[in-house]
């Protein structure tokens, strides 16, 4: 089971009771916290029960009552308390559903356990491994749907590592030597995946002192790839696009001298020998025609 721990002061900040009752609630919550720290979950549940009796409209008190009851193996009581906290508007996306799944699993209510686990799986808080390590879910592990929910949890938790659309630009990852068409070295280029695979971070070190970085990522809302480049000049440029004929192709607008801004597009074209041709074009007429602006051949660094 996964539960949220909060200090008493945070809990009381949302409790609307008269001063005398507030003092009683504070005392009950303090006592409950002490009992929980001692591992006396039955005593903690009794104290939390006192708090909700004094103020039945406090969702966090109900939530913590459910936690204590579950730990004290009163799973039916825990379910009732957690559902009450949800009815009162508690906002713990995924966690409450996961706790309910654990309680139902402990009671042997397989369908209800799987139903709530499905809600938790989409929250991005959990993985198949975290499900497998929780003894509360032991009774439902043999269910075919359990394995499917583990896969769904992994997808929600690590979408950039597992979903194909986030991996379309992976062929660019690595250490490269950049060469101009004449064969001379232009610089060193390294691209690494960060943020659990969600960002491609580029570092460019040119032989003539030109340096820069870019950050590329897949934007699910638009279905496009986005790249923002910033070099030593300090002016960022952003391009957007996606795969075209197997090549990542991004378009944007490039600030130039005297405040002029022109359309620009770059294609990273994978070659049969494992190299990548990076072709950049600009347009003098807002995209009606395009001219070659720069070309670079990326070869894997040895």
pLDDT of residue 90: 86
pLDDT of residue 221: 96
Domains in the chain, ordered, with CATH? Answer: 8-158 (1.25.40.10), 166-300 (2.40.128.20)
pLDDT of residue 22: 84
Strand partners for 244: 247
Is residue 195 classed exposed, middle or buried when 0-12, 13-18 and 19+ CB atoms within 10 A define those classes?
exposed
pLDDT of residue 44: 96
pLDDT of residue 171: 98
CA angle, 246 then 247 then 252, to 5°: 140
The structure's pTM equals 0.70
- Alpha carbon of 256 to those of 212, 233, 249: distances in Å? 16, 11, 21
Strands 291-300 and 276-282: antiparallel
pLDDT of residue 11: 43
CA angle, 277 then 282 then 286, to 5°: 140
pLDDT of residue 92: 78
CA angle, 93 then 98 then 101, to 5°: 140
Rounded distance between C-alpha atoms, residue 130 and residue 157, angstroms? 11
pLDDT tens track of the chain, all 302 residues?
655 444 333 444 344 555 667 889 999 999 999 999 999 999 999 999 999 999 999 999 999 999 999 999 999 999 999 999 999 998 777 899 999 999 999 999 999 999 999 999 999 899 999 999 999 999 999 999 999 999 999 999 999 999 999 999 999 999 999 999 999 999 999 999 999 999 999 999 999 888 999 999 999 999 999 999 999 888 889 999 999 999 999 999 987 767 778 899 999 999 999 999 999 999 988 889 999 999 999 999 98
């Amino acid at each position: 089971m996964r539960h949220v721990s909060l200090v008493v002061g945070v809990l009381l900040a949302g409790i609307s009771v008269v001063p005398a009752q507030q003092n009683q609630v504070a005392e009950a919550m303090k006592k409950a916290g002490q009992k929980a720290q001692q591992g006396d979950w039955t005593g903690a549940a009794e104290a939390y029960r006192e708090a909700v009796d004094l103020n039945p409209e406090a969702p966090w008190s109900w939530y913590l009552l459910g936690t204590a009851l579950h730990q004290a193996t009163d799973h039916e009581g825990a379910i009732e308390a957690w559902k009450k906290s949800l009815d009162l508007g508690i906002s713990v996306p995924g966690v409450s559903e996961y706790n309910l799944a654990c309680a139902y699993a402990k009671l042997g209510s397989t369908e209800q356990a799987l139903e709530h686990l499905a809600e938790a799986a989409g929250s991005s808080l959990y993985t198949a491994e975290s499900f497998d390590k929780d003894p509360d879910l032991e009774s439902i592990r043999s269910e075919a749907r359990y394995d499917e929910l583990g896969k769904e949890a992994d997808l929600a938790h690590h979408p950039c590592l597992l979903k194909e659309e986030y991996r379309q630009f992976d062929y660019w990852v690595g250490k490269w030597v950049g060469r101009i068409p004449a064969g001379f070295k232009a610089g060193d280029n390294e691209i690494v995946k960060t943020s659990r695979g969600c960002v491609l971070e580029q570092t460019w070190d040119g032989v003539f002192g030109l340096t820069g970085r870019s950050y590329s990522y897949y934007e699910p809302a638009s279905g496009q790839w986005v790249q923002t480049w910033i070099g030593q000049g300090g002016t960022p440029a952003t391009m957007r696009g996606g795969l075209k004929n197997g090549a990542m192709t991004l378009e944007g607008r490039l600030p130039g001298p005297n405040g002029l801004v022109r359309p620009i597009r770059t294609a990273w074209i994978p070659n049969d020998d494992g190299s990548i041709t990076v072709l950049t074009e600009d347009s003098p007429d807002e995209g009606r025609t395009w001219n070659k602006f720069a070309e670079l051949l990326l070869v894997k660094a040895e």
